[in-house]
Structure 1
């Protein structure tokens, strides 16, 4: 029970809605702590007006500790609502905010209602992700951060004790969300394409991945015209990053028979808009325009931790969209990898230009069973969906269903939008195969533009511009770049057969 764990200064207990006779119920560990403190904790909850609603919180100081734990100084009562994964995720975030700068907390929140594994795995994953991400901080202050996340969280209860592997997977999922959020938050005077490639090299070394990085000369030589064109105005040249994952214990011969999933991430490390320059306020958050690339890197880093059973190749098309005498101009025509051409109508529609190269290369050279790209691509998707759900386009119903389900479980929801062929004529150009600035129905036409580069390969496109920025703290989401997407991709790729039924 959490109250008996020595050395922790905070104990957090779940509170559930009761009935007319008993307004609230307390979860595992409450009875024992009642005896040790000689306090009616249900009465404390009622005194604070708790109803058991998700993420409600009340605190009770314990100045002298208890006989079993003299270090105890605070008891937290946290509402878990219906004790669904979303409730546990939000309760975990509330716990993180209430315990920042603390050394240790013990809690029975994920063991609410006596959940047993494996049925309780989702609750553990949700709680851990909420606790980790609710405590996210990033700083570059000379004196150090204003606050630290709680340093140690001890989960008490049979749900975790029964299977340590579940806890390790949960930490990997939360850690991927943290990594993608951190990469997206790094300022662009440090973060450039070469720096991002350096991060990929560190990930490859730690996770046992193969890596290849194309520099600007190799990109030019190999025909990656979109990446070269977008990145040529910057003092920091573009890069294409490739990471390869093979499941542990699989021989080279057996690996060749496994299906290949390709993940492609937009890695625009800063987006000024180019010569079609953005308004000043719209430029402020553009350090996070590489969120798609961050998501791919974070996902690749954790594939082994979730026992992904298929081969995965991650591609990050990294460039800075800058302004100089060599900048890409409206009216220019560029030739992508594989030969397809694009007339540039708007240099601020650069994301699709770099993604096109990576998609064309993936389909022609990597023999994928399916391709998924992730990008902060259009403002239009934010207009359509607001700021709490990402946009999904797909050529295959099975992959769409898998991704939507994974997003629901991971707390990164998606909404499927149509690849409406009736807008295809808007891509027309008088001098090239397509224009990058078709206008109108912007999220759909951007997806239609990309579709030409994947041919008949099953493909899904995640336009996460709608959820890229968090304007105020909201449960597990903290102000700033969101890093949205890695948890849902890992939830999907960590399933028993991620590609089953896709393309059939």
Structure 2
């Protein structure tokens, strides 16, 4: 797949029209047109906009309800094919919207997006008259539902279905709400695209190259540290993790500055884990444990996607993204359990398990951010621990923070975007488990305290210098084994919409 397609995921062309619906349909070719109509709690109403929409294509709402019994469950669908050439649409999609909450409309949007894959046009009256947040949720859902993961196929193989060529929202829709929702959805798609790139293509240098390309498009400043520069400046964690690989590590810095920014404008630093493939190192994973490890750079992909969207969304704060990129392989130069690694700034760490490599590369980036970038807020995101997946499954991600106001703001953004977080405590009683007899700190808990996600967060806290900081452990939610709803199999891009929403609210 060409890199240009990877870096510019399509969501089709979107339009907002006040109506009337009859005029919208008259302007479009009905041959491959899908009309999406909502089914609220209580079933299809016999009057109003939904009934009128059905009447335009020759259907009576009461009879349709009696014959097909469409359910109002959010995201459920009933498809009604129409006789070719006789109506203003070729297909009608009845989609459940429940009570019309944001989350229900996001699910309904995903169903519409999926149904529209490969079609020329979708016309929707779903979410007309809903609050702005609910309309944005519907658009996010529809865009993500229409997305298909990239594939690397032979020249004459059948490509995956593309999103609908055009989507027209009919009714009272705010154009800026739709545009912002599409920007957040495309950021998620970009993160997903990068996550599923095979690791024989995607190494630290390749990912740094993609970051340069995106920086040029998005008006970002970019700086990349080579292996030699990492060594000269003392990024011992990145060098240790990358030491067993034939492809050396990289650190990428991306800087976004809004128009009119001054030194007093708040500055946020986002740090993303970018392990382009994780074998576990000398503490090698079992074979089945490696199958999803091309997505272990999802944190870095999300940070990159967020930075690339900041200007489009007119984010009002200064944002720096740090991508800590390495491949955790094994070879004659691999770092070992019991090694002592010196991180950026001089703090030493005793290695306890080479398969806990994410926190090692993140520690370098966090220490650098604290020492050199002067952030008001520091947030990291990583597919970090299996313990997070055990604790919360694939439904939500642990959130850690040393500041209550920061945690509350992130939780609000999580609720608004349907990317749920659950705040976990930084349990001080567990901190002694990270004590080392030979270094400043051990990088995994040295005693059987359990709480693997909590102790990983406590380790990262050692490198933030007391700054306002939050950590998102997306190991459970960062990957999907299914292609359903908003999700496609592979990396989920979880956190991109959440972080963008949070940044938008900071201005």
Q: How does 1:335-374 map to 2 (within 5 A)?
A: 335-374=342-381
Secondary structure of the residue that 1:183 maps to in structure 2?
A: helix
Matched with 1:11 is 35
Q: Residues 377 and 273 of structure 1: is their aligned pair in 2 closer, same or farther, counting only changes over 3 Å?
A: same
Q: Which residue of 2 aligns with 1:147?
A: 161
C-alpha distance in 2, partners of 1:401/1:155?
A: 33
**What are the equivalent positions in structure 2 for 1:54-453 lying under 5 Å apart?**
54-65=74-85, 69=88, 72-111=89-128, 114-115=129-130, 120-137=131-148, 138-142=150-154, 143-158=157-172, 160=173, 163-248=174-259, 250=260, 254-438=261-445, 440-453=450-463
In 2, distance between residues paired with 1:404 and 1:190?
36
Which stretch has the larger CA shift, 33-42 or 217-226?
33-42
Q: Once the 2 structures are TM-superposed, how far is the Cα of residue 286 of structure 1 from its aligned partner?
A: 0.3
> Where does residue 15 of structure 2 map in the other structure?
none
Q: Name whichever of 376-385 and 93-102 sits farther off.
A: 93-102
TM-superposed CA distance for 1:231, in Å, is: 0.6
Whole-angstrom distance in 1 between the partners of 2:90 and 2:334: 60
Partner residue of 1:32? 52
Superposition RMSD in Å: 1.6
8 Å Cα contact 1:255/1:311 also seen in 2: no
CA deviations 1:278-324 (Å, max 9, x no partner) are 01101000000011001100100111222211100000100000111
Give matches, 1:488-503, under 5 Å. Answer: 488-497=498-507
| Alignment partners' CA distance in 2, 1:339 and 1:304 | 35
Range that drifts further, 48-57 or 83-92: 48-57
Q: Pick closer, same or farther for the CA change 1:377–1:338 going to 2, 3 Å.
A: same
1:465 is matched with which residue? 475
TM-score after normalising by structure 2 = 0.91
Quote the offset at 1:347 in angstroms. 0.4
Distance change in 2, residues 1:370/1:40 (3 Å): same
40-49 or 94-103: bigger deviation: 40-49
Report if aligned partners of 2:45, 2:51 keep a CA contact under 8 Å in 1.
no
Q: List gaps (5 residues or longer) in structure 2.
A: 1-19
For 1:273 and 1:28, locate their aligned partners in 2 and report how far apart those are by CA, in whole Å. 59
Q: Check the 8 A contact 2:281/2:329 in 1, yes or no.
A: yes
Alpha-carbon offset, residue 189 of structure 1: 0.8
- The answer to whether the Cα contact below 8 Å between 1:295 and 1:483 also exists between their aligned partners in 2 is yes
Separation in structure 2 between the aligned mates of residue 496 and residue 434 of structure 1, nearest angstrom: 34
Q: Give the total of aligned pairs.
A: 477
Corresponding residue for residue 48 of structure 1: 68
